[in-house]
Amino acid sequence: MTHTTLAKPLLCIAHRGGSQQFSENTLAAFEESLNIGVDAIELDVWNLGGELLIAHDRRLGKTLPGGGRLIDQQPHQLKELILACGNRIASLTEALQLIGDRATLNIELKSPDCAELVAATLESFVRDSGLGFDQYVVSSFDHPQLYRFKQRLPQVKRGILVEGIPLHYAAGFDELDAYTFHPSINFINAELVNDAHRRGYKVWVYTVNEEDDMQLMSELGVDGIFTDYPKRLMTLNAQCC
């Protein structure tokens, strides 16, 4: 059996909390990953009736019990739902309070109208907590919304999410003035990584769960990975170099 080794350590980003014990995107999942010392937590936010709730899927029935579209639900009803692990859906404010300065927080904008509310929530939390903006990254596949977020709160770093390989690799995103470039593991090659680095981006790849893929990302020069299995990566990082 081939032993997996990394060419260099990778930033460990717990994807949706990265828990195998608790439901994704829950405070319990975040706490589990924080306790093992991950570098960053990733979560997904929706503006639902003027409240920022943490969830990934656009429909109920997978992680959240019930049925129908998430955007058609009332926030107070969603907060009453019991998830499979016994926890409830959380708000962005609750996650900010839990995570504090214990890790970097990557906030993915999911609903089409949450940039302004996320910016206002971060401003309020930073003001009240005395923390800074440096530990936050706001990312999205919705690049126009990411641009609106930049206009509203330029102090917060931005991450560009892409699904495929753009025709001109990482070119064409200058207006976003982003910190990170987030390609999918399903569409990754050395040229894309190298081009992103030449343009000044850190490269964080999603979602990397297998050790041989972690090794490949390290060999490609990737800076960090989103993973559902942070313990795997942390073990490899500890053995590296």
Residues that are catalytic? 15, 56
Residue 175 one-letter amino acid: E
Helix (H, G, I), strand (E, B) or coil at 122: helix
92/121 Cα distance (integer angstroms): 8
Q: Which helix (H) or strand (E) covers residue 120, if one does?
A: helix 115-129
CA 161 remoteness from chain centre: 10
Q: Which helix (H) or strand (E) covers residue 215, if one does?
A: helix 211-220
End-to-end CA distance of the chain: 20
Nearest to 180 by CA among 233, 114, 106, 100: 106
How many other CB atoms are there within 10 angstroms of residue 61's CB atom? Answer: 10
How many other CB atoms are there within 10 angstroms of residue 200's CB atom? Answer: 11
Helix (H, G, I), strand (E, B) or coil at 211: helix
**Residue pointed to by tokens 């990394």:** 6
193/195 Cα distance (integer angstroms): 6
Q: What are φ and ψ of residue 153, in 5° steps? A: -145, 75
